[in-house]
Structure 1
Amino acid sequence: MKILDLNDTPDLKPIVADRIWQAFWRPYGAALSDVETALADVLAGGPFRFSLVATDGEQFLGTATAIESDLAARPLLSPWIAALWVEPEMRGQGIAEALLKVATARLFEQGMSPVYLCAKPHMQGFYQRLGWSLMEQDVGPDRLDVFTRHAVQRLHSVINP
């Protein structure tokens, strides 16, 4: 499995847009073109906007995107990891964990901390197992859980003999 920046694999943009649309936007009446436009904005760059894809050879496995804000009820929190998706037949193989790890590390490398994500309550154990802290529950009309993760700062001490 490889995790790549979507800008480096432009042939996967249509499938990423479709999966994000099907899973997260279509249920609210948005058009696929709305997702394509939003994804193009992310891929245009910025201080932390990016989209990752997990692949196995030519096979698309999953995606995750970093954006400024993912929850209208919490507009001041930023940045967010959003639209985490793994193909159903590939779940349970560590793909989501790998995507989260790479996305989080990339944000931390850019000096972004804390990082946020939101999810439905049934996903709480999954995110907590991966080191995310539950910050808030029952947020917004979808009653989502909000999680946060802080960069770990290692302290180095020097001992003089």
Structure 2
Amino acid sequence: MRPTIEAMAEGDVEAIAGLRLAAFFEGTDRTLDEDMAGLRGLIAGDGSEAAFVARDRGRPIGSCLLVRSEISSPHDFSPWLAGLIVEDGYRGSGVGTALVRTVEAHAVSAGIGKLYLYTWQARGFYEALGWTAVETFEQDGAPMLLMSREL
């Protein structure tokens, strides 16, 4: 069965926050409750931001966000594709690509012409999807890459 991509719902929040915490916030003081509150804010917001989830047989296995601002951003750009996460067992199967394309399509439907993202390790993945490197910089002692995509 092929995973489905849909708008995130309340029932997805805890599982996705758990994936996000392990992938993005390990070693920080961010808590599961804080991440869950942030996701709930996105799904209950005014529609200018969005959260999407990939599900396999109803179980959340990945997520990607469209946000106005990025956490601790040294750049004053907006909006951002953020928080792409796919469970290990589903990586390389097209789930990440489907999530990114869903966020891009949502952005186009909202009249957005350009998106930004931060990455380092996944730069090849994003380049293959048409994203362009804008600037390499250092953040918290680690290399980081700002990328953009015209929609």
Q: Report the TM-score when normalising by structure 1.
A: 0.84
The 2-side partners of 1:107 and 1:41 are apart by 18
1:6-52 residue CA offsets vs partner (Å, 9 max, x unmatched):
13xx2221101111122112332211111112112111222421111
Aligned residue in 2 for 1:140? 139
Aligned residue in 1 for 2:102? 102
Aligned residue in 2 for 1:11? 11
Higher relative contact order (CA 8 A, sep 6+): 2
Residue 70 of structure 2 corresponds to residue 70 of structure 1: yes
Larger Rg: 1
Secondary structure of 1:146's aligned partner = strand
Secondary structure of 1:108's aligned partner = helix
Identity of aligned residues (%): 25
Q: 1:71 offset after TM fit, Å? A: 4.6
Higher strand share: 2
Aligned residue in 1 for 2:126? 127
Q: 1:148 offset after TM fit, Å? A: 0.5
Secondary structure of 1:60's aligned partner = strand
**When the two structures are aligned, how many residues end up with a matched partner?**
148
The 1-side partners of 2:59 and 2:40 are apart by 22
The 2-side partners of 1:46 and 1:144 are apart by 30
**Unpaired segments ≥5 residues, structure 2:** none
Could you tell me whether the CA contact under 8 Å between 2:16 and 2:61 is conserved in 1? no
Q: Report the TM-score when normalising by structure 2.
A: 0.90
Q: Please give the root-mean-square deviation of Cα atoms over the aligned residues, in Å.
A: 1.5
The 1-side partners of 2:80 and 2:49 are apart by 9
For 2:16, the aligned partner's letter is V
The 1-side partners of 2:75 and 2:83 are apart by 17
Could you tell me whether the CA contact under 8 Å between 2:53 and 2:62 is conserved in 1? yes
Could you tell me whether the CA contact under 8 Å between 2:117 and 2:146 is conserved in 1? yes
| Residues 112, 91 of structure 1: alpha-carbon distance in 2 compared, 3 angstrom cutoff | same
The 1-side partners of 2:32 and 2:8 are apart by 18
| Residues 71, 11 of structure 1: alpha-carbon distance in 2 compared, 3 angstrom cutoff | closer
